Amino acid sequence: MTAPEPSEQAKKAIVFPGMGPSSFAEVGRFLTLDPFARKRLAEADEALGYSVFDQLRDSEDDYSEATQIAFLVNSMASADRAEEEHGLVPDLCVGPSFGQKAAAAYVGSLPFPEVVRLTAELARCEHAYFEEEYQDAVTHTFVRTPQEKLTEILDELGGRGEWFDYSGYLDDGFFMVSLREKELDGFKQSISKAGGYSMYTMVPAVHAPAFAELRRRAAEEILPRYEILDPKLPVVTDQDGSLVTTADALRTMLLDTFDLPIHWPKVVDALKAAGVSTMYITGPDNLFHRLDRTKSNFEVVTVGPGKRQRPPRKR
């Protein structure tokens, strides 16, 4: 994987967002009313042999298998709409966190039905792993916390022999940290005292170096069943901003998501260096289009559930 080459010509990037908490009402409405989503949903149902909508309706887990499939469906449907209604022809693709799966389908490294099956298998693998290991691990997301203050908080946590890992660097003062659930309340209080603001907590935890065994299981038990092809469109990794142009590099990126943190500032730097000026965020996104680093560097177009069609947001 190499860094993108600078370019003087203005370019466009398509970004498939990572998952966040969502309601069945919003997701289900989009799945049933949006024509692009209905088409993708039918493909997903055929690939899996069951009704994703019915499973989603009965799910009480924000990150269940059906919820993940529905998010993938809505992300791909949003990309279809961006191409159809906005005439989008992107130069680069990004898929932070869960968005990697939609990115893999979009760039042709795997057919969409195969990505659907892969997503379902990985969801089951993750569920089994966290039933056996790190049962009490969570990932907490918070903002407005200076790095030096966070370092002090984490040093105190580590000084007591407690486990933690960085899971994401999203913006200045904006982080994701994984830790034991029993430490969460105290951690949130420390963040508040440091002037920070807690946003949400993910269960199970994600993107932590401690989860190397989960990566191994995915690498040895699941990915070998899928033939990954070279991407037709370069993909910028969400871990370090390097450029993926081969099947092997894309496979590595899919595995890196298990035990390496997201680093959005490096993604932004890579896109800027490549000459990207407009970013299309396609899917149910409540985070990446709102980040200061995103808004200050790109014209941003959001296409997805709950998003009105609108011209790019000027820098």
pLDDT tens, residue by residue, 184-239: 999 999 999 999 999 999 999 999 999 999 999 999 999 999 999 999 999 999 99
Where do the structural domains in the chain lie, given as residue ranges? 11-132+210-303, 137-203
Report the C-alpha gap between 237 and 246 in whole angstroms. 12
Averaged confidence pLDDT in the chain: 93
32, with CB counted inside 10 A (0-12, 13-18, 19+), is exposed
Residue 288 binned pLDDT confidence (cut-offs 50, 70, 90): very high
Residue 4 binned pLDDT confidence (cut-offs 50, 70, 90): low
Among the four given CATH numbers 3.20.180.10, 3.40.366.10, 3.10.20.340, 3.90.960.10, the one describing domain 11-132+210-303: 3.40.366.10
Asked whether the whole model's pTM tops 0.95, one would answer no
CA nearest neighbour of 237 among 211, 270, 215: 270
CATH number assigned to the domain covering 137-203: 3.30.70.250
Averaged pLDDT, 13-24: 88
For a pLDDT cut of 90, what percent of the chain falls above it? 87
